Structure 1
Amino acid sequence: MATVELYTTPICPYCIAAKRLLDEKSQAYTDFDVMADPSLRAEMMQRANGRHTVPQIFIGETHVGGFDDIAKLEREGKLDDLLAS
């Protein structure tokens, strides 16, 4: 299974939705709270090519994007293959 990393805040509904989607798939992930540790936001922005909104989701070496992006992958039936890689 791929390594999944999310940059989130605890008050973001899209972050909660992204984690719920991964939980429903029983997919383990590492959650980096950029509100609790502001230095993580700079790291996130560097990894996400300047994107500053949360969530920012990474599966393996692939920057998926935000919740809309991971939800689109799920609707298109592509998320499971990406998670399995």
Structure 2
Amino acid sequence: MAEVVVYSSDWCPYCIRAKQLLNGKGVAFREVRVDGKPDVRAEMTRKAGRTSVPQIWIGATHVGGCDDLFALERAGKLDVLLGQ
């Protein structure tokens, strides 16, 4: 299974939804919180080209945010990307 990394914020409802989807599928992920950490947020922005959270990577693939993750799930492509 590919490593999953989620950059998130504690107060973000989209982060919560994305993590709920991953948890519901039994996917282990590494969460990187950006709250109060401008250097970590800057790293995320540099890597993703986006400033919003969540930002999600599955392996080397930048998935994007919560809506992007759910779109992959609806299209039946998330499990393939996860290697499940």
RMSD: 1.1
Q: Which residue of 2 aligns with 1:59?
A: 58
Give the structure 2 partner of residue 75 of structure 1: 74
Percent of matched pairs sharing the same residue = 55
Q: Which amino acid aligns with 2:18?
A: A
Q: Distance in 1 between matches of 2:22 and 2:35?
A: 21
**2:13 corresponding residue in structure 1:** 13
CA distance in 2, matches of 1:72, 1:41: 24
CA distance in 1, matches of 2:21, 2:73: 9
Residue aligned with 2:52, SS = coil
**Cα distance in structure 2, aligned partners of 1:46 and 1:23:** 27
Runs of 4+ in 1 over 6 A off after TM superposition: none
**2:30 — aligned with what?**
30
In structure 2, C-alpha distance between the alignment counterparts of 1:61 and 1:43, rounded to whole Å? 16
Q: Structure 2: give runs of 5+ residues left out of the alignment.
A: none
TM-score, structure 2 as length reference:
0.96
Query: What letter corresponds to residue 61 of structure 1 in structure 2?
Result: A
SS, match of residue 26 in structure 2: coil
Aligned residue pairs: how many? Answer: 84
